[in-house]
Chain A
Amino acid sequence: MNEPITNLWSVPLLVMIPILTAIVVNLLYNKARAIRVISIGAAIAVLAISVVSPYGFHWFAGHPAVNADGTYTFTASVFSWKLSLEYYYGPLQQILIAVTSLLLLFVVVIATKSLSKNYGPYVAIVFLTYVSAAAVIMTNDFYNLWIAVELGSLLVAGLVASSGTGYAQKAALKYTFFSALAGSGLAISLGLILGITGYANITDAIHFLMTNDLGGMHAVLYVAFAFLALAWVYAGGLIPVHPLKSDVYRSAFPHATVLLQAQSKLMLVAIGIVLLRMFGALPFAREVMLSISVLTMIIGIVMALIQTDFRWTLAYIIVSHSGLVTVGLSLGTYKGIVGGLFQAVNDIIYMSILLLCCEMLLYFGKGTSIKFNGGIAKKSPWLAAFVILGTFAASGIPPFNGFQSELIIIQAALEQSLPEVAAVVLMVSISTFIALFRAVYSIFLKPGEDHPVRQSEAKRFEIPTTVFVFLSVLLAISFVLGVYPQLALGFLTESALKVVFVPWVP
């Protein structure tokens, strides 16, 4: 493979602009207007960069050997690659980062509007969370992967704790304690892989495994897999960690949860692809991943069914749908991986619709419990319409986007002759509808407890224009992707092919 050697200008900007913004807004104490202008400008800038940027590499340390004609050699047999910490910006990275940047813009606008004073540090944490998500999906080396996961988890704790309530602080503390464990595991995994292969770059390490006989060192590779899988489970909130992760989702502000769930989906995709490329050929590796995913889906959705608060329901549904993403990935076939990646994109979008609706409920001051609510549809018909359409998208009802990706995952499971997995995916999508619609009915559609005469006189809840625009944009994307899935699928095929066609056999 010979490509012109370019160090892309855009990749460092995607990381540096948010970091610089975070530093600047942190310094602007008590200057609310300046913080607002700078942060919104930076969010627009990263969105624009992620859309217009060309595809390619950026090397931080070490370069591939450069040929005389300006191309570089990329062969497995000749160790022409040096120690190279690299970022890769490809179609998958583009679509995921563009969607996350769009959400970052929404989150920043809402955060700077809804929080009353001194939100500089909060906005800084929001930007840094975005950086960890963008870095983890772009990186192609274990070193940056580890740093992004570690920093990401600390930032999640910061974002949650800054909502200020007691249970948010408890959730943050639990999550950080666990981050200590999982981060150490990831460092050990990195050390083991480095010890076996001598490369921090993931592509180099895979090529080393392809071309060299490991002999008696295989057991070390399994231990590395186990530790990396632990970090995967932790960063994405899969099954044994899901109580902590759902605590995190529900105790942050809903607009912060929009970014948190996008970050954890990106982590799931990034680490999941690394696991598949690196260890997919090991016996039982994919089975372990698949069983974790199936258990996550089912436990998540069952826990979502028994909640009596809209925020809790949403938190557990996010956990459950993380399992849906990883089921696709861990099937390991081309179709499965495409389905999983597409599900990640769709999931980020429709969950954001529901979370923004949840934010509006809190904004109206009625709370989110399904026991003491009702009649919101009469006061705010637009919000009811948005939340119902979001429910349709989340439960995989056509013509919305959730349907397309779940269909691909079900087809992939059937092609692998695993109809049980397909059945579980169907169960999850139906139960999502039950769990969400139970909450939606109780909060929005059920007649309210106000007196009928006074209810007609009661003032209507108006959604702020910005949120209305955001919800419309997200719903439009959801609809367009549901009708023309090819628009997104074109971005995902390259990465899926890379995973499937660069295997190595131990």
Chain B
Amino acid sequence: MGSIDSLYDRVKRYLTSFFAGEGSTDAITGYSSGELQMTVFFMVLAAMFRVFMIPLGIVLLLVATILIAYFAPIIRTVDRENSSDLNRVLFWVIIYFSIILAVTLWGR
């Protein structure tokens, strides 16, 4: 078993390596499906740029795939950034507000 390092072994090792700290099987199913969900979402988001230009959509899709593969696991980052720390939420809100203001004023 150990001698064959098949794709399945690698994927399994990759998935379980995220969760060494908590060691709960209940969490692993959630984290794995959350990771896949985020992956698919970023790809869908990249593909959405086809409304501006179809080649742009394709390029962004490829870039998104590579970045996701490189930066995985994204779910850890998502979990961390979604912490309810007051200062962190305020920071995100200010960023959001600036983006909304910039986009709408630019759209004028």
A residues sitting closer than 8 Å to B (CB atoms) are 171, 174, 177-178, 181, 218-219, 222-223, 225-226, 229-230, 233, 239-244, 246-247, 282-285, 287-288, 298-299, 301-303, 305-308, 370-371, 418, 420, 423-424, 427, 431, 434-435, 438, 442
Contact = CB atoms under 8 A, between A and B. Distances in A.
A302 to B, nearest CB: 5
A433 to B, nearest CB: 11
Give chain B's interface secondary structure class. Answer: helix
B42 to A, nearest CB: 9
Contact of B47 (A284, A420, A435, A438): A420
B90 A178 contact: yes
Contact of A283 (B38, B45, B95, B107): B107
A161 to B, nearest CB: 15
Contact of B29 (A240, A282, A299, A438): A438
A352 B13 CA distance: 40
B26 to A, nearest CB: 6
Interface residues of B, number: 39
Contacts of A229: 100
Given A222-B101, A305-B37, 9 more contacts: A230-B93, A230-B96, A240-B89, A302-B75, A302-B78, A308-B24, A371-B26, A420-B45, A435-B30
Contact of A288 (B24, B48, B104): B104
B14 interface: no
B103 A288 contact: yes
Nearest to A370: B26
Interface stretch (B1-9, B62-70, B80-88): B80-88
Given A247-B84, A431-B37, A240 B96 contact: yes
Contacts of A438: 26, 29-30
A323 B49 CA distance: 21
Contacts of B29: 438
Contacts of B100: 225-226, 229-230, 288
Interface in B3-49: 24, 26-27, 29-31, 33-34, 37-38, 40-41, 44-45, 47-48
